[in-house]
Amino acid sequence: MPKIKQYSARFAIVAAMALVSGCGMTQQTASAPARPPATYNPPGAALSQLPAGQVTWFHVAFDTGSREIGVGQREVILDAVASMRGNPALTATVIGRTDGVGSAGANMRLSEQRAHTVRDALIRQGPIDPSRIETRWTGERTPGQPLAGETPDGGARVVDIAIH
């Protein structure tokens, strides 16, 4: 038994020394290049100039801070895909938006991520050719309106899909 205690004590001393010596070291790792911030990327003016009867809108809602499409919102994706399948000349403009909760930079990035998530879902479910989908994002901005306040707004946490 004394030998086990002796080895245990030596092991504890070595472990403690390794831990203490590691505290003063700085870690030298190659950092990944910083991802450039997402920038405001609103839909083009041509979309707003189309007659209302030539655009069908679908809205995919999201939880605060999330870019995951909820179970209840998958039906919206399927409806949008069904409308595009019926006419190969139709295109979709996907526009990611957020509410005012969080920083403007984080919201811009989140709206871009949401738009790409919906775009990918349309491509997967269709399948829809990627060339038929334009992907845009506006962060917490709504084109032509002032910035939203710092309040949760479920109506702003969406990706709008305009089929035209």
- The per-residue pLDDT for range 60-108, each reduced to its tens digit, is 999 989 999 999 999 999 999 999 998 999 999 999 999 888 899 999 9
Q: What is the dihedral of CA 112, 55, 129, 161, to 10 degrees?
A: 30
- The per-residue pLDDT for range 102-150, each reduced to its tens digit, is 899 999 999 999 999 999 999 999 999 999 999 999 998 765 444 444 4
Residue-level pLDDT at 145: 45
Q: Where are the domains of the chain?
A: 54-163
Residue-level pLDDT at 31: 57
Are the beta carbons of 143 and 44 closer than 8 angstroms?
A: no
**pTM (predicted TM-score):** 0.71
What CATH number matches the domain at 54-163, 1.10.10.10, 3.40.1160.10, 3.30.1330.60, 3.90.226.10?
3.30.1330.60
